[in-house]
Structure 1
Amino acid sequence: MTDETATGPKGPASPVLPDPPAPLRADPGPGPGNRNFRLFFAARAVAVLGDGMIPVALAAGLLDAGRPASSVGYALGSWMGSFALLVLFGGVLADRFTARRMMIVADILRLVGGVVLTVLFTTGNPPLWAVYALSALAGVGAALFQPGVASTIPRVAPDVQRANAVLRVSEALMTMAGPAFAGLVVSLAGAGAVFGANALTFGVSAVCLALMRLAPLPGDDAKRGSMAAELVDGWREFLARSWLWQVIAVWTVYGLTVLGPMLPLTATLVTQEHGSASYGVLMAVNGAGSAAGGLLALRTRPARPLAAGAVALLGVPVNTVLLASDAPVAVLGAGQFVLGTSFAFWLVMWSTSVQTHVPQEALNRLHAYDVAGSLLMLAAGRALAGPAAEVLGLRQVLLGGSVIGVAVMCVLLLLPSVRRLPRAG
């Protein structure tokens, strides 16, 4: 899960939900066409485009400089490690200093880091310690930025589901465009130019966020306790909502056994049997499926969004079964499209449910707990995928993940607090 989350219910409270109504949104504009949403949309789009450039730039810059392939993994690991360690504190800081301020600070940090990397890669062979340190700085920026996404969406778009769906489509397209653009720039001007373009995207994002005009929320100027006290308070808010912690508890199993192993095993199997070009095409098809899932979420408004999202996730095992069955590339493409569609639809339903059922004052911290837990399980699943495949067999691990994926979704649908969670508006 990862991604977005936000305010309280707009309608009557459900008998299964003890949550109080959340504060009114600060920006009751006409919807995703309003000025604040347009600025936020632009900030997210360019930032996701920039993020997609980084793996290509690091690989090209470090390998062309004669560095070992492991250095690329260490650089990306520096980013992920600092993000995972600090995202919980990012949620507290977003509550303490407002989400918009922290997102602007995060963009400025990443802008500075990108400019330094541009200079280092353009002028020579940068020392690895500097690349790792700057990658870690980018991870710190992401940790400061991500929690604020959760609480900003409901403040800039009264139709939260529609806003999430529009953002999901945009992010899917930018995720596909980022690596392609980076590859073109590397071939024409080198890795330094890619880092320069990446820095520019964060500059554009910071300007867009600075131009947003959001009315203050109640409690923005309230005196707050220590960082530790606010983390504990966020944990209490998390445990107070059974549907929330139950989904995330189930999701830890799903991330460890299904989603985590799926990416490295897919890359290994497809590359070995069909070539790296085919793998690239399949990832593009997956991105197209994600865009389709966002469009589907734009047009459907289920009365029980979490239940609808869980049903949609039954499309994930379709992909893993096809991967394990010696299917031709065209059929694998169909599986990737279903995977992208299913997962994007779930993310919109999950994000919308959290954003409309969790009070604004707790949202940044709860979203940070969600992101941290999901990221750790995904990382663990990816790390264990290789050893598990060596012991059990690659296809066996994929088929086992398919069975677990179906079982996990059945568990979600059997939980009353998840199955009965209503739309909040």
Structure 2
Amino acid sequence: MTSPGAQTASLRSRNFALFFTGRAVAKLGDAMLPLALSAGLIQQGHGPGAIGAALASLTVFLAGFVIFGGVFCDRFNTRALMVGSDLVRVCTQGLMAALFLTGHVVLWQVCAIGAVNGICAGLFQPGVASTIPRVASDVQGANGLIRTAESLAMLLGPAAAGALVGSFSPGGVFVAHAATYALSAVCLALLRLPAQAPRAERPTYRADLAEGWREFRARTWMWSVIVIWMVYTVTVSGPLVPLTAAEIIPADGPGVYGLVNSALGGGTALGGLLALRFRPVRQLRAGSLALLGCCLYPAAVGLALPQAAMMAAAAVWGLGGGVWAVMWATSVQTQVPGEILNRIHAYEVAGSLAMMPVGQALAGPAAQLFGGRTVLLAGGFVMIGVSAALLAVPAIRNLRSVTPGTALASSAGGARTAPDHVPDRGA
């Protein structure tokens, strides 16, 4: 078993520092994007339907392409694919900046750029899961630190984006976003990663996809979470950004919307720090309980509570989500063998995001039919059900954590927790 001192040294290593910096900076840019896109489209006379469509364009292509990205990462150089994806997004965000700076914003062009970004994200994301165990032996500690840094970026990003939009233009935010991808690419290129074991020859890409799907289905705890998460994304997470933006920005301005999102980022940072110190034996059970507090944010906006109350509710949402995110990422990265981790991570990402564009696209019609505040209030109640559903599945609530030493041995090629062997898992 790896000693605590070795784990600490790993988290202070040059490799982890570079990866940590790249993820934090890229997240800073990503945190600016929803506000810039929402405010920019609202300035051009669009409503929540257009915002949802613009966000959905990225998510649809990410969810559709990430499975193939997992196969590519297993077959080719993972880091090269990640660096290339970042560099392409430097160009696409530069183009987005030009559209908003010149005032010639056409919705289909914004959606097309989002689609390219989604494909790039689909190539990039599978490599994250397999890179973390290669740069840090303490996987939960690494996830906790990265999540905390990403959350601090979420804290600063919306506030900075609100200031830029208010004093300059949404186009300036996209310039900054392109720069964050450039720095992320540099950090990844400078990593000194240990050599990976030679990959056995595989007959076809289809065989790789089929193997990944079999391994995904064989883990009841994983596919059960994804099924529940699909309900969450279409009913809560998908409509959240378009509807909260449409409710807060016209009434209080982009600055207040930025502050609310910054509070969410601050709460997520606290959740990451808590997960860094809190080492439960049953990680997904702890994460599921933490999600209960997430019901407060959509309810607070739906009730049109004062700014301070919305910020507090957003912080609680972030806290619960931050704890869950670390527990989930650590479970995936330590329970799954390294040789199939990219593909399984790709399947769980695709499943997690599959219904997100549906929720984003339906945000506008649902708001017109029922009212935006009513949809947000319903989302608060659904969030309670999501937490209860996760806890109701024995494979989720009883999954035991893998020790750091076991996870480290597994990342070098050893066996991790075996799949669940249960009859009739369903289609």
Q: Could you tell me which residue of structure 1 aligns to residue 388 of structure 2? A: 410
Q: Could you tell me which residue of structure 1 aligns to residue 416 of structure 2? A: none
Alpha-carbon separation, structure 1, partners of 2:307 and 2:318? 16
Q: Could you tell me which residue of structure 2 aligns to residue 19 of structure 1? A: none
Deviation per CA, 1:162-199, whole angstroms, max 9, x where unpaired?
Answer: 11111111112223333444455567776665544333
Given residue 235 of structure 1, which amino acid in structure 2 is its aligned partner? Answer: W
Instruction: Say if 1:188 and 1:385 are closer, same or farther in 2 by CA, change over 3 A.
Output: closer
How far residue 101 of structure 1 moved from its aligned partner, in angstroms, is 1.9
Given residue 89 of structure 1, which amino acid in structure 2 is its aligned partner? Answer: F
Residue 32 (structure 1) aligned with residue 32 (structure 2): no
Q: Could you tell me which residue of structure 2 aligns to residue 161 of structure 1? A: 140
Instruction: Say if 1:279 and 1:91 are closer, same or farther in 2 by CA, change over 3 A.
Output: same
Native 8 Å contact 2:74 2:342 kept in 1: yes
Native 8 Å contact 1:28 1:156 kept in 2: no
Native 8 Å contact 2:163 2:255 kept in 1: no
Given residue 75 of structure 2, which amino acid in structure 1 is its aligned partner? Answer: R
Residue 343 (structure 1) aligned with residue 327 (structure 2): no
Residue 286 (structure 1) aligned with residue 264 (structure 2): yes
Given residue 387 of structure 2, which amino acid in structure 1 is its aligned partner? Answer: M
How far residue 382 of structure 1 moved from its aligned partner, in angstroms, is 3.1
Structure 1: any 5+ residue segments left out of the alignment?
1-9, 12-26
Instruction: From 286, 303, 318, give the equivalent of 2:296.
Output: 318
Instruction: From 245, 260, 268, give the equivalent of 2:238.
Output: 260
How far residue 139 of structure 1 moved from its aligned partner, in angstroms, is 2.4
Secondary structure of 1:223's counterpart equals: coil
Q: Could you tell me which residue of structure 1 aligns to residue 72 of structure 2? A: 93
How far residue 138 of structure 1 moved from its aligned partner, in angstroms, is 2.4
Q: Could you tell me which residue of structure 1 aligns to residue 154 of structure 2? A: 175
How far residue 106 of structure 1 moved from its aligned partner, in angstroms, is 0.9
Q: Could you tell me which residue of structure 1 aligns to residue 130 of structure 2? A: 151
How far residue 365 of structure 1 moved from its aligned partner, in angstroms, is 1.5
Instruction: From 216, 227, 232, give the equivalent of 2:210.
Output: 232
Instruction: From 233, 258, 275, give the equivalent of 1:297.
Output: 275
Residue 136 (structure 1) aligned with residue 115 (structure 2): yes
Native 8 Å contact 1:172 1:291 kept in 2: yes
How far residue 44 of structure 1 moved from its aligned partner, in angstroms, is 0.9
Given residue 320 of structure 2, which amino acid in structure 1 is its aligned partner? Answer: S
Percent of matched pairs sharing the same residue: 47
Given residue 224 of structure 1, which amino acid in structure 2 is its aligned partner? Answer: R
Native 8 Å contact 1:29 1:157 kept in 2: no
Secondary structure of 1:238's counterpart equals: helix
Native 8 Å contact 1:305 1:353 kept in 2: yes
Residue 245 (structure 1) aligned with residue 185 (structure 2): no
Instruction: Say if 1:71 and 1:307 are closer, same or farther in 2 by CA, change over 3 A.
Output: closer
Alpha-carbon separation, structure 1, partners of 2:267 and 2:371? 28
Alpha-carbon separation, structure 2, partners of 1:156 and 1:316? 31
Deviation per CA, 1:40-78, whole angstroms, max 9, x where unpaired?
Answer: 0111122222333445666787888x7967877665444
Q: Could you tell me which residue of structure 2 aligns to residue 79 of structure 1? A: 58
| Segment drifting more, 364-373 vs 404-413 | 404-413
Alpha-carbon separation, structure 2, partners of 1:253 and 1:212? 38
Instruction: From 88, 98, 103, give the equivalent of 2:82.
Output: 103
How far residue 118 of structure 1 moved from its aligned partner, in angstroms, is 5.9
Alpha-carbon separation, structure 2, partners of 1:320 and 1:386? 16
Residue 43 (structure 1) aligned with residue 22 (structure 2): yes
Alpha-carbon separation, structure 1, partners of 2:103 and 2:313? 43
Native 8 Å contact 1:99 1:149 kept in 2: no
Q: Could you tell me which residue of structure 2 aligns to residue 366 of structure 1? A: 344
How far residue 221 of structure 1 moved from its aligned partner, in angstroms, is 3.3
How far residue 34 of structure 1 moved from its aligned partner, in angstroms, is 1.0
1:187-198 mapped onto 2 (5 Å cutoff): 194-198=173-177
Deviation per CA, 1:339-385, whole angstroms, max 9, x where unpaired?
Answer: 11011111111111111101111111122222222222222223334
Given residue 37 of structure 1, which amino acid in structure 2 is its aligned partner? Answer: F
| Segment drifting more, 144-153 vs 363-372 | 363-372
| Segment drifting more, 304-313 vs 192-201 | 192-201
Q: Could you tell me which residue of structure 2 aligns to residue 201 of structure 1? A: 180
Instruction: Say if 1:74 and 1:330 are closer, same or farther in 2 by CA, change over 3 A.
Output: closer
Instruction: From 185, 206, 212, give the equivalent of 2:191.
Output: 212
Tell me the TM-score normalised to structure 2 length. 0.81
How far residue 288 of structure 1 moved from its aligned partner, in angstroms, is 1.0
Alpha-carbon separation, structure 1, partners of 2:115 and 2:338? 29
Secondary structure of 1:137's counterpart equals: helix
Native 8 Å contact 2:239 2:359 kept in 1: yes
Alpha-carbon separation, structure 2, partners of 1:68 and 1:326? 22
Instruction: Say if 1:226 and 1:294 are closer, same or farther in 2 by CA, change over 3 A.
Output: same
Q: Could you tell me which residue of structure 1 aligns to residue 357 of structure 2? A: 379
